[in-house]
């Protein structure tokens, strides 16, 4: 992909980027050029060169993302990830724009689900997640219950689509919330967004975690549950990863994971119905949300659902 020089931006996305680049104090008067980086379904992503300096990465917040993302909290989480050894160096932060500027990981690439078919990648990812989850608490606490209930209200506010079995889904959600709260939550820093593209890999399969926009203190078991949602692992691999993270597999941890997998898919399906109404990005949010619900429903309808709740 070719570079665009500062001042040559034509579309709305490039002009929005250039307005932000002009406000970076360290780059005043420096020759700048940039190009788009693929990936992401909320923002536009960019690689930027400033003079003879090293390349950096930044993203421009997409329209409507302020409904879900507290940028100061995301920045705190990025710093926490850097400190725990599995994040990316944070070079600058523009709070008025909600824009973080990161070192560009030249020797790394975004992973895909296929990468996680290899045990070494899975285990390196678990070590990275565990390190972030074990980091000092974040300022923002936002549980999976807070997220779902916020999104349900937002869907109504923007006139988003509601699935025909919404009443059933919310009954199951209520059962899960009551059981999880009764069992007690282990609130720790969580990414809350463990899709494959947020794990960067180098040639030696070292892992770096990126994109902490949705990070908050949340139930620890949710981090692995959401990761399992995204990876579509087999039951055997999920058991392996639970043991790698927790040091053991137990029926109780398994039950907690299954219940939280259902809630994770419900959360992102509801998020997608909001994005369908407010986002300007070229992405099929309705299809994405429908896919998420197609994964949640078998869990909510599973014959073991009552037993899982009792085991929590």
Q: What is the pLDDT of residues 250-271, one digit of tens each?
A: 999 999 999 999 999 999 999 9
Q: Residue 172: which pLDDT band, with cuts at 50, 70 and 90?
A: very high
pTM score, two decimals?
Answer: 0.93
Mean pLDDT across the stretch 6-28? 93
Structural domain boundaries in the chain: 4-103, 109-311
| Contact criterion met (CB below 8 Å) for 58 and 102 | yes
What is the CATH T-level fold of the domain 109-311, as seen in this structure? Aminoglycoside 3'-phosphotransferase; Chain: A, domain 2 (3.90.1200)
Q: Specify the higher pLDDT residue, 47 or 43.
A: 47
The per-residue pLDDT of the chain, averaged, comes to 95
pLDDT at 234: 96
Mean pLDDT across the stretch 203-221? 97
Distance CA 145, CA 187 (A): 13
Segment (H or E) for 80: helix 71-84
What is the CATH T-level fold of the domain 4-103, as seen in this structure? Phosphorylase Kinase; domain 1 (3.30.200)
- State pLDDT tens for residues 97-151: 999 999 999 999 999 999 999 999 999 999 999 999 999 999 999 999 999 999 9
- What separation in angstroms does the CA of 49 have from each of 26, 38, 64, 205? 12, 17, 28, 27
Q: What is the number of H-type helices and E-type strands within the chain? A: 10, 11
pLDDT at 262: 98
Coil, helix or strand for 92?
strand
Torsion sign (Cα): 75, 132, 201, 254? negative
Torsion sign (Cα): 140, 183, 291, 297? negative
pLDDT at 1 over 80: no
Domains 4-103 and 109-311 belong to one CATH topology: no
pLDDT at 130: 98
pLDDT at 36: 94
């Amino acid at each position: 992909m070719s570079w665009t020089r500062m001042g040559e931006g034509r579309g709305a996305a490039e002009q929005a980027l250039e307005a932000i680049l002009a406000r970076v104090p360290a780059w005043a008067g420096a020759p700048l050029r940039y190009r788009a980086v693929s990936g992401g379904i909320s923002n536009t992503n960019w690689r930027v060169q400033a003079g003879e300096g090293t390349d950096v990465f930044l993203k421009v917040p997409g329209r409507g993302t302020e409904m879900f993302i507290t940028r100061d909290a995301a920045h705190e989480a990025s710093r926490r990830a850097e400190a725990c050894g599995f994040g990316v160096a944070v070079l600058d932060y523009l709070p008025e724009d909600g824009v973080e500027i990161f070192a560009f990981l030249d020797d790394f690439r975004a992973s895909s689900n296929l990468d996680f078919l290899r045990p070494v990648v899975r285990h390196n990812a678990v070590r990275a997640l565990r390190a972030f989850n074990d980091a000092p608490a974040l300022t923002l606490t936002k549980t999976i219950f807070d997220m779902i209930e916020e999104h349900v209200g937002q869907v109504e506010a923007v006139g988003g689509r509601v699935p025909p079995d919404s009443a059933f889904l919310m009954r199951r959600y209520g059962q899960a919330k009551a059981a999880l709260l009764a069992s007690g939550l282990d609130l720790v820093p969580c990414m809350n967004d463990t899709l494959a593209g947020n794990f960067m890999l180098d040639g030696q399969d070292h892992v770096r975690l990126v994109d902490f926009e949705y990070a908050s203190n949340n139930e620890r078991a949710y981090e692995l549950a959401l990761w399992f949602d995204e990876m579509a692992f087999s039951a055997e691999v999920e058991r392996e990863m639970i043991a790698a993270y927790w040091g053991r597999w137990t029926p109780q941890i398994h039950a907690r994971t299954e219940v939280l997998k259902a809630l994770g898919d419900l959360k992102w399906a509801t998020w997608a119905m909001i994005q369908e109404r407010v986002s300007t990005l070229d992405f099929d949010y309705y299809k994405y949300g429908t896919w998420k619900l197609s994964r949640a429903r078998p869990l909510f309808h599973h014959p073991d659902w009552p037993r899982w709740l009792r085991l929590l």
